[in-house]
Amino acid sequence: MEEKPFPAWSWSVEQCLKEYNVKLERGLSSHEVEKRREKYGWNELVKEKGKPLWRLVLEQFDDVLVKILLVAALISFVLAYLHGSESGEAVFEAYVEPLVIVLILVLNAIVGVWQETNAERALEALKEMQCESAKVLRGFYVPDLPARELVPGDIVELRVGDKVPADMRVASLKTSTLRVEQSSLTGESMPVIKSTNPVFMDDCELQAKECMVFSGTTVANGSCLCIVVSIGMNTEIGKIQAQIHEASLEENSTPLKKKLDEFGGRLTTAIGLVCLVVWIINYKYFLTWDVVDGWPTNFQFSLEKCTYYFKIAVALAVAAIPEGLPAVITTCLALGTRKMAQKNVIVRKLPSVETLGCTTVICSDKTGTLTTNQMSVTDFFTLGGKTSASRVFHVEGTTYNPKDGGIVDWTYYNMDANLQALAEICAICNDAGIFSNGALFRATGLPTEAALKVLVEKMGVPDMKARNKIRDTQLAAEYSIDPITVKLRCCEWWMKRSRRIATLEFDRVRKSMSVIVRELNGHNRLLVKGAVESVLERTSQVQLADGSIVPIDEPCRQLLLLKLHEMSSNGLRCLGMAFKDDLGEFSDYYAESHPAHKKLLDPANYSGIESDLVFVGVVGLRDPPREEVHKAIEDCRDAGIRVMVITGDNKSTAEAICREIRLFSDSNDLRGKSFTGKEFMSLPSRQQMEILSKPGGRVFSRAEPKHKQEIVRMLKEAGEIVAMTGDGVNDAPALKLADIGISMGIAGTEVAKEASDMVLADDNFSSIVSAVAEGRSIYNNMKAFIRYMISSNVGEVISIFLTAALGIPECLIPVQLLWVNLVTDGPPATALGFNPADVDIMQKPPRKSNDPLINSWVLFRYMVIGSYVGIATVGIFVLWYTQASFMGIDLSSDGHTLVTLSQLRTWGECPTWENFTATPFSAGSHLITFSNPCDYFSLGKVKAVTLSLSVLVAIEMFNSLNALSEDNSLLTMPPWRNPWLLVAMSVSFGLHFLILYIPLLADVFGIVPLSLNEWFLVILVSAPVVLIDEILKFVGRRLRQTTRKQKMA
């Protein structure tokens, strides 16, 4: 049962306890729990009913091309069976064709079902994010209650490292601070501080609900008691599951799939028409009648002849359908995925490779994609020799690697007393650590604190002897067996000099944390770091460069605040550093047994201890943009791709980063270009569409999952092809809904990866741009081989049509056509997938998703080529029967009988011819003989059929050279630019020789070996196809030049 919406975040703890009729110190009774379970159900995500396997299998056959093939296979089975019944034996060769077609369809279905089941694993990954047990009060303390048994009103205890089991209202803190890592849900880069104070807004974003903890997030530090507010599908993570399921229902076909379906529809119509025409042309052979008194009588119907022309119609269907196309497309996409993997893009769903090529909008997350997701210090400043002078130091490097960059114009000798105090505070007032995972450096603890430790390593130490020793140990560490833990030697040096004896934890009131340390001289010192304004309020003195301490005056305070404003406006997160030597009753503090220790137990005393501070300096940190992103944004601009940044971070930080990566220039007015998620969603839908459709970048900050999903949906409705990046659970619905969902390999959650189409191995935005270029190249190559295969099929259709139109014997049988379509055409078509990319591929605008696969000029070209293929294939068949020689090549040396063209066209009337004889002729080592002379046109056509098949294979090999480039001549794009094509042509010819010269295979395919003379004839008839297409390409180039000149004029 659904819960009544209840804004617990805007109610006080007392009101919440009253609402749920529960006491914080006791929890719910078992009777109350049972009542609530009946009302609210279990705390678990509901599994949507998946499609049954039989439905998934059937859906794979819901495709136009597949349906045509199914019908063709069925008819072939029937004809093979009838043939077997007539001859009294089952001939295996007759069943080869339908068996091969069915095998293709079964393999296609297996791949499709596997992809479908793989795609829905995102919902399972969400379940793994749910907590398994919880610490609950139910009259008594239950340390490990299964989390699914929680009900609204339960009192739950959370401790450091716990995964939150449900959406809960924080009721009381057991420590001074509570931080929760909720970046996977909200996209915030830092752990969020939680409190018990209500947020007086009934409708506010997740990030603002500071008194709520959400299911699936993790407690970073502190502990607390909470009241369960929402369970199961009513939690934020449950809502995300519902959104993922909703998005999965909206998944559309890829642009290529749509085009192929459209092509399949047209092909069906064309096949139907051609088959009908063939039957109309040949009706006289199976249906005859006499005309008496102007009326037809004595109808005679020949089932044998009707079946024969029915077989021709089936051959037409087999010829017209490019059976090898699905296999070649899959192979090409698979090769594309390998290329993309080398560019750090792991493809999970094959069709997304092609879709990426027509991407028009990239919606990118900020943290970790455009930025490094590694906090680093970029600037720090301290006062100079007097209170009116300041000095700023710039720090290079964007990672947690201490050797990545350094401080500009820095020498260890200029580490004066002031800078030493700054280094000491950064090193000791700090709980973070750093470890390396191969080349990648990661932080343990808070990212800001890890960045401060890296700064200390870059600053070095003032003691020369210690410095040399550190350098030697660092050199030795490079050859260490265990490189995982990074030794921060400079930080260790400071920590040995100043031993930490007490910690005053951070809290939201004073916005600072501090430590009491025992110096080498035996005196205690307080080291403080926190929000600059907050530290300045409690500052009474400042330290100058030489270490002297002077009272702070108003001009000095204003100077510090001005510098702070400069740094903040550049998107830096600023921390103020200070210390205090006169600690009063804590001056001799040593351990918990000291009388003053009880003051440290109450956080209310911390502000008093941290008063009369000596201000040292300010450190500016940020999650810096990746170096390569600026170039990637430029490439997107050149390629006509718009970039939109959608982040959970705050508005000013997001805008500063967007300016830095040049998504916006410094002079750009961001009104109408930068919105918080809530601001954008409150606008009228018409205005929203206007904002999204205008050219240029956009940035959406404080975005929640539903905002991301809505933005993606609106862009798709506007006809955009959207690529969406994300790493958190909150990104999963939008990743699922986008045309291309791209998740992060390093920082990404399993939920995001499962919902995505591809994964960035290096979490880098520029890898997406490389992948788009690769996608465009793959699409161009796919277009090349689709055109190649279709032009070949047009040739086959025309050859069968001519056969039927002329009334000559069938010159190609279905199994031969199937062999050509699947095996012989396959290698060259696949090799066309290796065509090198155009140099200007990323200077062209994205192709429109409705752009035709084959435009009218290309269709005309391939009709001309197809006509030549048909004429050549049928022509050589006719030549063999009717001509003794052709262009000086002797055709009658094998001793076969020559007939006239009219005899060949009326071969069905052979039994009525007087004195017709057919002499035996040689075919390789065989002698072809006839018991009945009329068998010369059925059994005896074996040599003519072999010549036709060989011409078809040779022409298609030459035609693959034409497909190297849509427009460019072979003189400018020579075949060796793609050596794989030459290898593939050799393989295809090799396979053809195999079926010609191995007797068993030759019998299956109904062909015989050819002599060298006959091969010369085959090459002579096939080669002109290259010349014809070169002329057509030349005409096409001239037409385009003329059109361009007319437009310019």
Helix (H) or strand (E) holding 19: helix 13-19
Separation CA 825–CA 820 (nearest Å): 6
Residue 301 pairs in a beta bridge with 287
Q: Give phi and psi for 420, each to the nearest 5.
A: -65, -40
Active-site annotation holds for 404: no
Task: For residue 691, give both structure tokens.
Answer: 């904002």
Q: Which residues contact 620 (CB under 8 A, 6 or more apart)?
A: 377, 378, 379, 380, 567, 570, 572, 573, 574
If you write DSSP's letter for every residue of 853-886 in order, what string do you get?
Answer: SS-HHHHHHHHHHHHHHHHHHHHHHHHHHH-SEE
Helix (H) or strand (E) holding 77: helix 64-87
Separation CA 221–CA 442 (nearest Å): 19
Separation CA 137–CA 150 (nearest Å): 11
Closest CA to 329 of 265, 270, 272, 263: 263
- Tell me the H-state helices in 522-582: 532-537, 554-569
Q: How many helices (H) and strands (E) does the chain have?
A: 37, 34
Separation CA 896–CA 920 (nearest Å): 7
SS3 23: strand
Residues in the chain: 1049
Closest CA to 656 of 368, 400, 370: 370
Is residue 750 within 8 Å of 374, Cβ to Cβ?
no
SS3 522: coil
Query: Of the residues 167, 365, 379, 757, which is catalytic?
Result: 365
Query: Sign of dihedral through CA atoms 154, 160, 165, 169?
Result: positive
Burial of 645 (0-12, 13-18, 19+ CB in 10 A): buried
Closest CA to 609 of 671, 527, 683: 527
2, amino acid identity: E
If you write DSSP's letter for every residue of 778-820 in order, what string do you get?
Answer: HHHHHHHHHHHHHHHHHHHHHHHHHHHHHTPPPSS-HHHHHHI
Is residue 728 within 8 Å of 184, Cβ to Cβ?
yes
Task: For residue 994, give both structure tokens.
Answer: 């195999």
Separation CA 771–CA 777 (nearest Å): 10
Is residue 373 within 8 Å of 451, Cβ to Cβ?
no
Query: Sign of dihedral through CA atoms 796, 797, 801, 802?
Result: negative
Say what angle helices 303-320 and 255-286 make with each other, to 10 degrees: 160
DSSP state of 935: G
DSSP state of 456: H
Question: HEC states along 702-759?
Answer: CCCHHHHHHHHHHHHHCCCCEEEEECCHHHHHHHHHCCEEEEECCCCCHHHHHHCCEE
Q: Give phi and psi for 758, each to the nearest 5.
A: -145, 160
Task: For residue 654, give both structure tokens.
Answer: 């997001």
SS3 505: coil
Q: To 5 degrees, how large is the angle CA 102–CA 105–CA 109?
A: 140
If you write DSSP's letter for every residue of 976-1042 in order, what string do you get?
Answer: GGSHHHHHHHHHHHHHHHHHHHSHHHHHHHT-----HHHHHHHHHHHTHHHHHHHHHHHHHHHHHHH
Separation CA 732–CA 744 (nearest Å): 12
List the catalytic residues: 365
